[in-house]
Amino acid sequence: MKMNEIKKHLLSVSCFVSLREMSLSYCDDLSSDILSDLLQKPKALKVLHVEGSAMVEVVFDIDSLLTEGQKVLNNLTNLELENLPTMTHIWKHGPQTFMGFQNLTKLSVASCHQLTNILFPLVATILSHLQELSISECRRLTVILKEEDEHEATRLTTESELVFPRLKSLALIDLPCLRCFYSGLQCFTWPSLESVWIDCCKEMTTFTAGTSKTPRLREIAVNGQNHTIEGDLNTDLRRLQQQLNDGNTSDSTFTSSPME
């Protein structure tokens, strides 16, 4: 059955409104428009998994998902995106402010090779409950957080800091073009961050261009080796990557993920 037929049948079923988990795997004709239509109906959706769909360029088109007076997918807790070869945006469009995604705790993105960034600051500030962030094998990814336009970049320079209040675990794996988490001079605070795993990200010599406060972070894992934080995250990452480039650090990799 084609996705258009599935969409027509599902959207007419009243129980679809109460759907809690949605997994869409290797649906050849699943497009961004069809995905937006599917996501408008289930108000209780907690888990979304999209994999192997070659026509999905945008997962969340905010303009399409916005309903007056309602928050966008505010019950979603777990988002997994894998092997989406044409996806250029996870979040796209939308007004300057909108409400939604405020219960998302886990975001995992893998093998999405057209992505150049993951988050915009507007979305990042909404994801106040995010606890686990795992990004792997995205060949063109250069930064995790990027300003969407010049207006947003100007606004950020006037704010004191960006905070990821509940993020506990960050894994950046096999991202050959990744330069940093964020290239702007904004300061970051990570009050809950306990685990940082960076593996095969040879271009990443800076975590953030501004300062990063990580009061609970004691160790950082780089290419399979655990290292005690000696100063700040930026300084230690730069030192460890330099050691790796000089051949003084083992090139082994983890065989298991710290994400649980």
Evaluate whether 87 touches 56 at the Cβ level (below 8 Å): yes
Classify residue 43: in a domain, yes or no: yes
Within a domain: residue 215?
A: yes
Give the residue from 260, 253, 21 showing the smallest Cα distance to 137.
Answer: 253
Residue where one domain finishes, among candidates 104, 135, 168:
104
Asked if residue 194 is part of any domain, the answer here is: yes
pLDDT of amino acid 155: 54
Contact status, residue 162 vs residue 134, Cβ threshold 8 Å = no
| Position with higher pLDDT, 38 vs 255 | 38
Same domain, 170 and 214: yes
Half-sphere exposure in the Cβ direction for 9 (13 Å, CA): 6
Phi, psi values for residue 126, rounded to 5° = -75, -30
| Residue 15 CB neighbours (<10 A) | 8
Domain-located, residue 191: yes
Residue 209 falls inside a structural domain: yes
Based on the structure, what is the number of domains in the chain? 2
Are 132 and 231 contained in the same domain? yes
204 inside domain = yes
Tell me the residue range of the domain where 178 lies: 124-146+159-249
Q: Indicate whether 3 and 97 sit together in one domain.
A: yes
Same domain, 81 and 142: no
Does 119 map to a domain?
no
Strand partners, 145: 119
Query: Does residue 100 share a domain with residue 128?
Result: no
- Both 134 and 54 in one domain: the answer is no
Task: Look at phi and psi of residue 254 and say left if phi exceeds 0, alpha if psi is from -120 to 50, else beta.
Answer: beta
Judged by DSSP in three states, 4 sits in helix
**88 and 137 both lie in a single domain:** no
pLDDT digits (tens, 9 = 90+) for 109-149: 999 999 999 998 888 889 999 999 999 999 999 999 987 65
pLDDT, tens digit, 9 for 90 and up, residues 140-189: 999 999 876 555 555 555 556 788 999 999 999 999 999 999 988 788 99
The answer, as to whether pTM is greater than 0.85, is yes
